[in-house]
Amino acid sequence: MNRQFFLLVILVSIIQYSCSQKKIPDYKDCSLSAEKRADDLISRMNLDEKVAQTLCLSADMFVKNGEPDSVMLSRVLKNGIGQIRDCWSTGEENTVKINNWIQKFVSENTRLGIPVIIHGEGLHGFVGDHATSFPQAIALSGTWNLDLIDKVYSIAANEARSRGIQQLLSPVLDVARDPRWGSNCFHLYWMLQGIPDGDDFPKHLAKIHT
């Protein structure tokens, strides 16, 4: 009995030691700074993977008859991708399901498992099935009510995040300096990952409207 117990202790010790020697890559180590993690990740990426991070495609192209198109996923996302436009025209449940398919595939089937940034439209509220549509940005800015605009974009943030979307394209500013090119505009991007109620970030954006 004592011998068996002794062997068991040795076995457990060996397993614990082996596990402690398996160091995760720096870019996956949340205890490190963002700069160090980014430097480590870039140093590991080949040219194809770097180019893939500059691309953006629609999630619709990876869905076939309501199911994930594994052939298209494997063909197009083998090196990962920087951004995916969410399936805005489908219901909330399907949007979440499709976004999860894509994230799961990229995480498990690409060499480095870099997550995808999934973005949506949010000029005057999140654009999606059953989402809330608010007045256009120029109308919101005309209220001069930062608390109201804070509430508007907090709702937009929560509706987008509930569907697995980390980024909205909003608001829109016309930065053209030549009136002959009046349609030239610039989308300000902001991350919505985990924006809590009362966070100052939407308030900073609200000031842009004015």
The mean per-residue pLDDT over the stretch 62-79 comes to 86
Higher per-residue confidence, 99 vs 176: 99
Q: How confident is the model at residue 39 (pLDDT cuts 50, 70, 90)?
A: very high
Highest mean pLDDT of the ranges 32-41, 59-68, 168-177, 180-189 = 32-41
Q: How confident is the model at residue 192 (pLDDT cuts 50, 70, 90)?
A: very low
Domain ranges of the chain: 1-44, 122-209
Residues in the chain: 210
Rounded CA separation 190/203 (Å): 12
Contact, 123 vs 172, CB < 8 A?
yes
Residue 64, pLDDT above cutoff 80:
yes
The answer to whether the peptide bond before residue 171 is cis (omega within 30 degrees of 0) is yes
DSSP per-residue string spanning 32-65: S-HHHHHHHHHHH--HHHHHHTT-EEEGGGGEET
CA 71 remoteness from chain centre: 23
Q: Which of 88, 90, 158 is nearest to 127 (CA)?
A: 88
Predicted pLDDT at 4: 60
CA 17 remoteness from chain centre: 36
**Which H/E stretch holds residue 80?**
none
The mean per-residue pLDDT over the stretch 87-105 comes to 84
Residue 191, pLDDT above cutoff 70:
no
125-167 pLDDT per residue, tens: 898 888 999 998 888 888 888 888 888 888 998 998 888 898 8
131: left (phi over 0), alpha (psi -120 to 50) or beta: beta
Residue 86, pLDDT above cutoff 90:
no
Average predicted confidence (pLDDT) for the chain: 77
User: Model pTM?
Assistant: 0.69
